[in-house]
Amino acid sequence: EPEVTQTPSHQVTQMGQEVILRCVPISNHLYFYWYRQILGQKVEFLVSFYNNEISEKSEIFDDQFSVERPDGSNFTLKIRSTKLEDSAMYFCASSEERLNTEAFFGQGTRLTVV
């Protein structure tokens, strides 16, 4: 069964450093997403990506964040100058269509900023 894969599973970084979280969406999907989940809280939308550009983003997704699809398979989230409060699980998801279809989630990357 096709699945969304994310690497690394756990990333520890020092405050102020840059991190890149990587995702390989399901191959025939067209829409890609990043969500985050702070420990014990709900899943929060960060950004959606379609046709090689951001289609929408939340208030959380400020200039500290960027996304890229560097090739035909990878989808990355870059966090510049990480802060302690960026510590969370980051989930990548993909879907075939934008409306009325479910998003398939990866296993997540646990980011710990120390």
Partner 1 sequence: GESVGLHLPTLSVQEGDNSIINCAYSNSASDYFIWYKQESGKGPQFIIDIRSNMDKRQGQRVTVLLNKTVKHLSLQIAATQPGDSAVYFCAERGWGNTPLVFGKGTRLSVIA
What is the binding site for partner 1 (CB under 8 A)?
Answer: 4, 33, 35, 41-45, 48, 55-56, 58, 91, 93, 98-100, 102-108
Q: CB of 108: closest distance to partner 1 in angstroms?
A: 5
Rank residues 67 and 93 by Cβ distance to partner 1 and give the closer one.
Answer: 93
Contact 23, 76 (CB under 8 A): yes
Q: CB of 47: closest distance to partner 1 in angstroms?
A: 9
Q: CB of 75: closest distance to partner 1 in angstroms?
A: 15
